[in-house]
Structure 1
Amino acid sequence: MEQGIAYELILKPGERVLDIGGYDGGSALSFAKLVGNSGEVHTFEPHPVHYLKLCVSVRDVPYITPHCIAMSNRKGTTLFYSDLDFSNPKTALASTIVADLANYDRLGEKIVAMKVETTSIDYFCKENFYIPDFIKVDVEGAENLVFEGSLEILEKIKPTFFFECSFLSTQRAQLAHLPQLIQYEYELYLVNIMYCWGKWTNDFLWNKNKLTRLSLSDIEAATNTSSPDITTNLLAVHKSKLKDCPIFNQCEISDYKTFYKELLKEKP
């Protein structure tokens, strides 16, 4: 399913959104269009150059609030790693606060580390009396930290999450939040696959017209070292909220063996 369609099916006018990993403002503008002026969007982008682009993009939408801050598991500071060439399209979206992922393959040969402010979902929401309905997370390997800092919101508010998830051999240590979400009674849904067998693709969107529910065994199989490297978008929806959106009643239940066969068809 196209992620824009997923947004349209889930977000409603008046809802409140946390856009974590705002980049140039594209996602914040999409969310703002769906929630309308009765809703709110807070968007977070720690990269100073991208943050300026973000501010320019959203300046005419009063219910979007940009923050030049990194979302993590606590309020404080941390090092943020980026390519010194901020205009390089191959590395522009790979900046990260995870030191283990700050390597030449991801960020190029001129890696710069800058100190940035951090906050957590729990701290931000408590500080601002904010109750989010929907949280988008695109933080280049820092998902564990973000979810670690959201446990109070997870338990009390149960917002819907949309996040990029990389089942890559180099990033499988960053997937501990997936079984944690299931423990908190969230259902996980595969939205689409963006990267498979070493290439980015817009053509291979498994189950184009439907979401596919993933089980814990599917997650364990996908993180097995014999599985192909894939990058996906996932939705996490609390069981208590499934009835609010008919699309979840139409989901296919996944069978990872079938899923794996489909992936094998894509192998170059």
Structure 2
Amino acid sequence: MINYFVKKMKHYKNIPIFIKFKKDKDFEYRLNFMIFLSKFFNYKRTNHGDKIEELIPSYLDNIIYYSDIGDIENTFCSNFNLDKIYKSYQIFSDEYSKDLYLSQLINYSFVGENSKGTLFLLYYSHIWNQYKKVENSIKDKLDNLFLFDLSNINIPIKLYYPYPYGLFSDFILEQYKYKNKVYVSEGDIVIDGGGYMGDTALYFANLVGKTGKVYSFECVDSNLNIFYKNLDLNPNLKDIISIQKYPLYDKSNQQLNFADGADASRIMDNGNLKVISISIDDFVENNKLQKVNFIKMDIEGAELKALKGAKNTLSRFRPNLAISLYHSFSDYYEIPLLLSEILYEYEFYFDHFKLGRGESILFCKAK
């Protein structure tokens, strides 16, 4: 839709040039148009649910008005390498991905309570009608966790989880599926990098069925304790999921220090949890896997390293990929550029599944 506006306003002479890019005037125009348009959209992040900060649409708020808060163009240039952004932008296979990619780069530049970018299509989507159904699926509470029964939205899964939005994103928005192009199918072998409490593993297991397998990598004990509880709640899916207590990395047998941050546990020099890494290539070889159909990664900034440890698997099996980009500014271009070098004859797509900064996913599909 944004591309429609860009084409319609192609000859509109009053769009300011905030950022010059002489290599490609069409890219320059689209980027500056996106910045210009973003100055008219303003979203507020609010506390919602159990002290979880999410941006949930409030239709009592006016989001369309001019505001130059945050100095978009200078903030953008200080956060990103423009040449690498351009190279990544060129990789994408459809106009939707290109538009949303530029919009999310703007949105990601805003750390505080204000959000920018052209996210109004998601903001006003009817999909939010389903969010209330996820909230209404809460049946019980265990400490700081809610017990969700998703059967009321025709998903035969029960699980403990700390807040509704994660499940809304996993099961309703389906953030690890790109339209009808990149998705998990029955019988697939899935590598689930970043298992957390088992939500994505259960999502994938429900799709692959008894003839498939999900290898879910999670190394943080506090998350694993809930993960095992969630498997017991779903005996029909339990045997499809194999928990691997390792962090994915470029090389195996490296000692890594993790800071336990629940859904944002990450490698840190002063982390108090010491774990031993494994690479995807070594895992595939050690377990003599005969195929890998899908790789998902949401591993809190270790995606680039983990992908470097999967080069043989990517070349041999040519799986579909869904890789999180939102853990650093540089991931938005370093990960697409790395994969464009590794993958031969692939299509690349981009989507974003949150009104806030998180949940940007790079999708890759073999032609």
TM bucket (normalised to shorter chain) is: 0.5 to 0.7
Aligned partners of 2:268, 2:338: CA distance in 1, in Å? 20
Aligned mate of 2:284, from 98, 121, 125: 125
More strand by share: 1
The residue correspondences of 1:1-268 to structure 2 (distance < 5 A) are 2-4=173-175, 6=177, 9=180, 10-59=183-232, 60=235, 61-83=238-260, 91-97=261-267, 99=269, 112-130=271-289, 131-166=291-326, 168-169=328-329, 172=330, 175-183=333-341, 184-185=343-344, 186-194=346-354, 199-200=356-357, 232-239=360-367
Aligned partners of 1:69, 1:5: CA distance in 2, in Å? 22
Aligned partners of 2:326, 2:175: CA distance in 1, in Å? 19
- Return the letter of the residue paired with 2:365: V
Contact 1:78-1:97 within 8 A present in 2 as well: no
- Return the letter of the residue paired with 2:282: Y
Contact 1:3-1:192 within 8 A present in 2 as well: no
Q: 1:68 Cα shift? A: 1.2
Q: Deviations over 1:181-231 (max 9, x none)?
A: 112233221122436xxx45xxxxxxxxxxxxxxxxxxxxxxxxxxxxx75
- Return the letter of the residue paired with 1:92: A
Percent identical across equivalent pairs? 27
Kindly tell me: are residues 152 and 35 of structure 1, through their superposed partners in 2, closer, same or farther at Cα, counting changes over 3 Å? same
- Secondary structure of residue in 1 paired with 2:263: coil
RMSD: 2.4
- Return the letter of the residue paired with 2:335: H
Q: 1:58 Cα shift? A: 1.9
Aligned partners of 1:5, 1:163: CA distance in 2, in Å? 9
Q: Deviations over 1:22-75 (max 9, x none)?
A: 000010001010000111111010111101211221242111111111111111
Unpaired runs of at least 5, structure 2: 1-121, 123-172
Q: 1:77 Cα shift? A: 3.2
Aligned partners of 1:26, 1:8: CA distance in 2, in Å? 20
Query: Which one has a bigger Cα radius of gyration?
Result: 2
- Secondary structure of residue in 1 paired with 2:195: coil
**What is the aligned length?**
187
Aligned partners of 1:173, 1:164: CA distance in 2, in Å? 9
- Secondary structure of residue in 2 paired with 1:144: helix
- Secondary structure of residue in 2 paired with 1:194: coil
Kindly tell me: are residues 145 and 98 of structure 1, through their superposed partners in 2, closer, same or farther at Cα, counting changes over 3 Å? farther
Kindly tell me: are residues 155 and 128 of structure 1, through their superposed partners in 2, closer, same or farther at Cα, counting changes over 3 Å? same
State which drifts further: 7-16 or 53-62: 7-16
Contact 1:143-1:175 within 8 A present in 2 as well: no
Aligned partners of 2:349, 2:265: CA distance in 1, in Å? 26
Unpaired runs of at least 5, structure 1: 84-90, 100-110, 201-229, 240-268
Aligned partners of 2:264, 2:176: CA distance in 1, in Å? 25
Aligned partners of 1:78, 1:152: CA distance in 2, in Å? 23
Aligned partners of 2:337, 2:176: CA distance in 1, in Å? 26
Aligned partners of 1:150, 1:94: CA distance in 2, in Å? 23
- Return the letter of the residue paired with 1:150: A
Aligned partners of 1:8, 1:28: CA distance in 2, in Å? 20
Name the TM-score, length of structure 1 as normaliser: 0.63
- Return the letter of the residue paired with 2:296: K
Q: 1:16 Cα shift? A: 0.6
- Secondary structure of residue in 2 paired with 1:6: coil
